[in-house]
Structure 1
Amino acid sequence: MEFLGMTTIFLLVCISCLLLFTTWRSISQKEKQPPGPIALPIVGNLLQLNPWNLPESLKKLSKKYGPVFTISLGPQKAVVLYGYDVVKEALVDQAEDFSGRGSLPLIEKLFQGTGIVTSNGETWKQLRRFALTTLRDFGMGKKSIEERIQEEANFLVERIRNTHERPFNPSNFLVHAVSNIICSVVFGDRFDYEDKKFLTLINLLDENDKLQNSIQTQEKGNGHSEFTVETLSRSTLDLFLAGTGTTSTTLRHGLLILQKFPEIVEKIQKEIDHVIGRNRSPCMADRSQMPYTDAVVHEIQRFIDFLPLNVPHAVVRDTKFRDYFIPKNTMIIPTLNSILHDSKEFPNPEKFDPGHFLNANGTFKKSDYFMPFSVGKRMCAGEGLARMELFIFLTAILQNFTLKPVVDHKDIDISPFVSTLANTPRPYEVSFLPR
């Protein structure tokens, strides 16, 4: 009896240990989070990162910790996704899990989570659906929007012509022209470039925090509606910021790059003369017959890498990703520069080369790695508009003018000013010589 008793106790202990081990292993596997550098109290990994070139810091960390790793931005943890495969797997294959918007103090202060870009959950879904539907109703993707861009391109060309070949910084011209497209959609008409209200509106884009904080009225009669005056106003602001700053900056950077490579401009203009001529406005139907120009526009967007770290995402629930567990609401940084500057897809990615988007026979070459507008549920809602603007504005300018830099083209620095959120071109002046 004593032997049986000891055997029973031994078996119970073994079973208990086995159960404890299984439970511990299950919990351990569930809570295995992505690796990363050791974080210090309060400051996290901020002392280990270069705030002036965060993309380069993350590139170095990816070499040590792999394509999925964790950093601490102060007390806030963020999971970095580095490379095409992991970004696609997260934002496309597990799109719903990664559809949240990450929180950054500056963005929170400006938008307070109420616009299309920064909102989450049902608010975001309804506002995005409303914006896309409304833009389609106003002509997004239809001939009417294209006609508005063509009209504005003509005004821009005439404004440039009136500079009479004097060198100037084209930044304001481009901002005004691109912004007028959004104005024509939101307000029903464009503004004259010297219109005081229009100039005030442009200036207010830089002071949007005060402007938005002044809005207090909400929709009456429906306490659960997402369509309050505040959310709609901030959504309109999103359209102006995204629809003005990003496209005009891309055009401004593109014109700087093209000054450095006059041989590229010559090829574009030869294609323009062959397909369009000098007597009609460029249209989107021309793009399929202009593979070189199309490749140059794509290469400009790839090269400048406007949003190197993307706009931060967040997981909306506890998420299993690859072999890792990511807790709900964790910020996600799905880096775009790791994709746009992938050396396997784009040989010599630091070099500006339209050949990155051309086949050997000169036809246009598509690439899944081309995602300057991000990808998945949070990709830029205005991608179609931006693509039309970039092609028509740039083609119209080069149809009418040749670029003359104020310095030797070999001395032009086309590398962007690198920042945490957005890359911008260096200031410059240029003369536009009529063709």
Structure 2
Amino acid sequence: MELLGGATIVLLVCIACLLSFAAWKGRSGKGKMPPGPAPLPILGNLLQVKPSNLAKTLQKLSEEYGPVFTVHLGSDPVVVLHGYDVVKEALVDRADEFAARGHMPIGDRANNGLGIVFSNNELWLEVRRFSLTTLRNFGMGKRSIEERIQEESDYLLEEINKTKGRAFDPTFMLSCSVSNVICSIVFGKRYDYKDKKFLALMNNVNNIFEMINSRWGQEKDRPNSSFHMKNLITSAFDLFLAGTETTSITVRYGLLLLLKYPKIQEKIQEEIDQVVGRSRKPCVADRTQMPYTDAVVHEIQRFISLVPLALPHTVTKDTSFRDYVIPKGTTIFPVLTSVLHDSKEFPNPHEFNPEHFLNKNGSFKKSKFFMPFSAGKRICPGEGLARMEIFLLIATILQNFTLKSVVNPQELNITPTLSGAGNVPPAYQLCAVPR
């Protein structure tokens, strides 16, 4: 009887696989869904698509199936866009059709569809417009926010000075520094790095970012007015989530890369001494006179590809795209790494090289492939703020300190520890020697 029962189970599994394969064959091909690997029942393509390193496995699949292909995460089909041409076509050229936010369980649980990041339709348009207007009124791209960043950088320098040249992990103080800039904008005040409420907020932001990176963050009746208290609170928290972890991780990863390549650090300091000197703080206006530093900042963002896949998009109606038809409600994953690591635009893309953003005469070279903040209507609303912070914090730190590795720079590991929805640098320590 046991043998018969086992055979029945095997037979049922085989039938399920055949039915799944037949359904997949019927849905994909020209005029239908984009092609992709055959899914297994329930599991889908989870054996081929490793959640621990999505970008790499999706690149391999693109080599087999082309720039537009379908994978199944569980039973749900996901259309993947791989490469600059298809990412730009969807997010920029056809922005209206691909602007809707795709489904993410973490967004449903934490935000309930409110805020900026996970909302859609009129709710998203109203809150995004309000947030951008408010940031502009507070001075995004203007002097007032620049002064807030400069003020907070003074407190950061104080904290670094307390280390007295001893080895330390910069994670905590960088997170506090960046978070305080958001606090200054949203609450009108900064907080001491030891304040209990501030630390609790920091902990919540960190936990949510880690959940988004986990596989639990990647599987499976709104009020009429967008401007009610719960939505405003959620939107404010979105600013913390998007504006704290992403920026502080970028700066932290950047410092690790400067430890790995001390000659690049020296060249930045030479440019700082020449343009800014030691008697005043670096400012955003200096950036145009500091092409090498600007190139390094861009190369940090390109190289680390902090968010390998943009947050999921979706289509709100059956949509013809290239030779295929994407059904309404299908999740879309634009692979930003495939743009940032394009070998034609950036020779040897897996090498950290500021020359990727420099002309032969040493002037800064722009690139339309630079999409660390995504593109189109869902581009990060805090892009301007983040770019100011990254430039000013790195320039201010290097104006005042020379960063030394506690091990031989050649032995430093610069491989990210998380490679799902976000690339996070491995833990490290550094010594900051006053200049």
Q: What TM-score, normalized to structure 2?
A: 0.89
Which residue pairs with 2:268 in the alignment?
268
Q: Is contact 2:45–2:71 with CA below 8 Å preserved after alignment?
A: yes
Which residue pairs with 1:351 in the alignment?
351
Query: Which runs of structure 2 are paired with 1:250-269 in the superposition (5 Å)?
Result: 250-269=250-269
- In terms of mean alpha carbon deviation, does 52-61 or 392-401 score higher? 52-61
Query: Which runs of structure 2 are paired with 1:52-71 in the superposition (5 Å)?
Result: 52-71=52-71
Q: What is the alpha-carbon distance in structure 2 between the residues aligned to residue 357 and residue 207 of structure 1?
A: 34
User: What SS does structure 1 have at the residue aligned with 2:44?
Assistant: coil
Displacement, 1:108? 2.5
Q: What is the alpha-carbon distance in structure 2 between the residues aligned to residue 389 and residue 39 of structure 1?
A: 44
Which residue pairs with 1:333 in the alignment?
333
Deviations, residues 90-141 of structure 1 (Å, cap 9, x unaligned): 0011000000111122332222211200011111111101111111111112
Q: What is the alpha-carbon distance in structure 1 between the residues aligned to residue 408 and residue 36 of structure 2?
A: 46
Which residue pairs with 2:14 in the alignment?
none
User: What SS does structure 2 have at the residue aligned with 1:85?
Assistant: helix
Which residue pairs with 2:124 in the alignment?
124
Displacement, 1:31? 4.6
Larger-Rg structure: 1
Q: What is the alpha-carbon distance in structure 2 between the residues aligned to residue 152 and residue 80 of structure 1?
A: 40
Matched, 1:33 2:33: yes
Which residue pairs with 2:83 in the alignment?
83
Unaligned stretches of 5+ residues in structure 2: 1-26, 210-221
Deviations, residues 18-62 of structure 1 (Å, cap 9, x unaligned): xxxxxxxxx999952211111122111112222221111110110
Which residue pairs with 1:160 in the alignment?
160
Q: What is the alpha-carbon distance in structure 2 between the residues aligned to residue 402 and residue 206 of structure 1?
A: 28
Q: In the superposition, relative to structure 1, how do residues 426 and 377 fare at CA in structure 2: closer, same or farther (>3 Å)?
A: same
User: What SS does structure 2 have at the residue aligned with 1:431?
Assistant: strand
Q: In the superposition, relative to structure 1, how do residues 338 and 413 fare at CA in structure 2: closer, same or farther (>3 Å)?
A: same
Q: What is the alpha-carbon distance in structure 1 between the residues aligned to residue 32 and residue 198 of structure 2?
A: 54
Counterpart residue identity of residue 125, structure 1: L
Counterpart residue identity of residue 409, structure 1: P
Q: What is the alpha-carbon distance in structure 2 between the residues aligned to residue 419 and residue 64 of structure 1?
A: 22
Which residue pairs with 1:13 in the alignment?
none
Q: What is the alpha-carbon distance in structure 2 between the residues aligned to residue 300 and residue 44 of structure 1?
A: 35
Counterpart residue identity of residue 434, structure 2: P
Q: What is the alpha-carbon distance in structure 2 between the residues aligned to residue 113 and residue 77 of structure 1?
A: 21
Counterpart residue identity of residue 91, structure 1: L
Aligned pair count reads: 397
Q: What is the alpha-carbon distance in structure 1 between the residues aligned to residue 147 and residue 92 of structure 2?
A: 33
Counterpart residue identity of residue 135, structure 1: L
Unaligned stretches of 5+ residues in structure 1: 1-26, 210-221
Q: What is the alpha-carbon distance in structure 2 between the residues aligned to residue 223 and residue 123 of structure 1?
A: 9
Query: Which runs of structure 2 are paired with 1:390-409 in the superposition (5 Å)?
Result: 390-409=390-409
Query: Which runs of structure 2 are paired with 1:7-46 in the superposition (5 Å)?
Result: 31-46=31-46
Matched, 1:307 2:307: yes
Which residue pairs with 2:188 in the alignment?
188
User: What SS does structure 2 have at the residue aligned with 1:47?
Assistant: coil
Displacement, 1:223? 5.4
Q: In the superposition, relative to structure 1, how do residues 84 and 184 fare at CA in structure 2: closer, same or farther (>3 Å)?
A: same
Which residue pairs with 1:50 in the alignment?
50
Displacement, 1:268? 0.3
Counterpart residue identity of residue 319, structure 2: T
Displacement, 1:199? 2.0
- In terms of mean alpha carbon deviation, does 240-249 or 321-330 score higher? 321-330
Counterpart residue identity of residue 161, structure 1: N
- In terms of mean alpha carbon deviation, does 228-237 or 91-100 score higher? 228-237
Q: In the superposition, relative to structure 1, how do residues 251 and 29 fare at CA in structure 2: closer, same or farther (>3 Å)?
A: closer
Q: Is contact 2:29–2:35 with CA below 8 Å preserved after alignment?
A: no
Taking only the aligned residue pairs, the percentage that are identical comes to 60
Q: In the superposition, relative to structure 1, how do residues 259 and 28 fare at CA in structure 2: closer, same or farther (>3 Å)?
A: closer
Which residue pairs with 1:112 in the alignment?
112
Query: Which runs of structure 2 are paired with 1:192-211 in the superposition (5 Å)?
Result: 192-206=192-206
Q: In the superposition, relative to structure 1, how do residues 237 and 399 fare at CA in structure 2: closer, same or farther (>3 Å)?
A: same
Q: What is the alpha-carbon distance in structure 2 between the residues aligned to residue 150 and residue 364 of structure 1?
A: 24
Matched, 1:369 2:369: yes
Q: What is the alpha-carbon distance in structure 1 between the residues aligned to residue 353 and residue 29 of structure 2?
A: 45
Q: In the superposition, relative to structure 1, how do residues 316 and 395 fare at CA in structure 2: closer, same or farther (>3 Å)?
A: same
Q: What is the alpha-carbon distance in structure 2 between the residues aligned to residue 313 and residue 51 of structure 1?
A: 18
Counterpart residue identity of residue 120, structure 1: N
Q: What is the alpha-carbon distance in structure 2 between the residues aligned to residue 259 and residue 190 of structure 1?
A: 30
Q: What is the alpha-carbon distance in structure 2 between the residues aligned to residue 29 and residue 406 of structure 1?
A: 55
Q: What is the alpha-carbon distance in structure 2 between the residues aligned to residue 164 and residue 407 of structure 1?
A: 18
Counterpart residue identity of residue 152, structure 2: E
User: What SS does structure 2 have at the residue aligned with 1:48?
Assistant: coil
Report the RMSD for the aligned CA atoms in angstroms: 1.7
User: What SS does structure 1 have at the residue aligned with 2:69?
Assistant: strand
Deviations, residues 248-274 of structure 1 (Å, cap 9, x unaligned): 000000001100111001100000000
Which residue pairs with 2:280 in the alignment?
280
Counterpart residue identity of residue 104, structure 1: M
Q: Is contact 2:206–2:245 with CA below 8 Å preserved after alignment?
A: no
Q: What is the alpha-carbon distance in structure 1 between the residues aligned to residue 62 and residue 190 of structure 2?
A: 46
Q: What is the alpha-carbon distance in structure 1 between the residues aligned to residue 373 and residue 424 of structure 2?
A: 16
Q: What is the alpha-carbon distance in structure 2 between the residues aligned to residue 208 and residue 348 of structure 1?
A: 34
Which residue pairs with 1:6 in the alignment?
none
Q: What is the alpha-carbon distance in structure 2 between the residues aligned to residue 235 and residue 285 of structure 1?
A: 30
Which residue pairs with 2:378 in the alignment?
378
Query: Which runs of structure 2 are paired with 1:88-99 in the superposition (5 Å)?
Result: 88-99=88-99
Displacement, 1:194? 2.4
Q: What is the alpha-carbon distance in structure 1 between the residues aligned to residue 401 and residue 319 of structure 2?
A: 53
Displacement, 1:208? 6.4
